[in-house]
Amino acid sequence: MRIGLHVSISGGIEKTPLTAMKLGCECFQMFARPPQGGFITVMSEEKTQEFRDNLKKSGINNFYIHAPYFINFASIDNRIFYGGIKAIREDLELGSALGAKYLMTHLGSAKEREEKDAIKKVAEGIEKVLDEYKGTTKLLIENSAGAGKIMGDAFEEINAIIKKVKNKDLAGICFDTAHAFESGYDFRTPESAESVFENIEETIGINAIKLIHINESMTDLGSHKDRHANIGKGKIGESFFRRLMRDERFKDIDCILETPVEGEEEDMRKMKEYRIINSK
């Protein structure tokens, strides 16, 4: 289990591995473009090679790309629907050029669509993204907090989408602890947490989890409000994260913290400490 942070690309994507190394990351996550909208970062051959060289210097083997927030595969607006397909495909291609293991994306909001129609449309969008894709970076669906009619808040719904996508470049899910809690999955006791994992096993399967976002929630269970807190300063409770670090089912899965920047390095230190203590 490697532990890392979401790292800013403001100093240039090519320098991101060195930034991650200085922060003490064992793996890292980044955006490939402004998350709220905008064009993908154009990487020359020289900048691409510089990134790869810096990745070697950093000693970090695994890194991940987070898709922009404007993606909406359930939209009735073709401009938004096909714009999201184009953006994800671009991010996957860049990820392949740089050597990213996975790219994770949110699915968007159904709004005007009924659930069955929205599930079908989202699966169609993912299929179009991956059609004739030859890259090495695989795609993950990230579970959501479920505000309004946001897709992907229930594992049953994610399972229904995955079943409709035949392309194996959809590798599984990125499991976000805060989003799950905010959508109604309770981790506050060992018993309730195990019930959540049993639900995951019965729907998508534990093996579908390929990456974990270790996030504490600022908002209450079932709030459907996506607000992250630093570890131990939210509503889930620090004991869950201690248990997560020693769970044998996740020992080979990388973990990324997306907690508030002020305190994120301390959060990462805690997770490493729990992992070391629990491995003895």
Better pLDDT: 222 or 36: 222
Whole-angstrom distance, CA of residue 136 vs CA of residue 262: 34
- pLDDT-based confidence at residue 280 (cuts at 50, 70, 90): very low
For residue 202, name the pLDDT band (cuts at 50, 70, 90): very high
The CATH number of the domain holding residue 7 is 3.20.20.150
What 3-state DSSP class applies to 136? Answer: coil
Q: What are the beta bridge partners of residue 63?
A: 28
CA dihedral sign of residues 42, 45, 50, 51 = positive
Q: Cα dihedral sign for 257, 274, 219, 206?
A: positive
Tens digits of residue pLDDT in 6-51: 999 988 999 999 999 999 999 999 999 988 877 787 889 999 999 9
Domain count, the chain: 1
Q: What is the pLDDT of residues 143-177, one digit of tens each?
A: 999 888 899 999 999 999 999 998 999 999 999 99
**Residue 81, pLDDT above cutoff 70:** yes
Predicted local distance difference test score (pLDDT) of residue 23 = 96
pLDDT tens, 52-73?
999 999 999 999 999 999 999 9
Task: Say which residue the tokens 């159904």 belong to.
Answer: 110
Per-residue confidence (pLDDT) for residue 277, from 0 to 100: 63
What residue numbers bound the domain in which 168 lies? 3-279
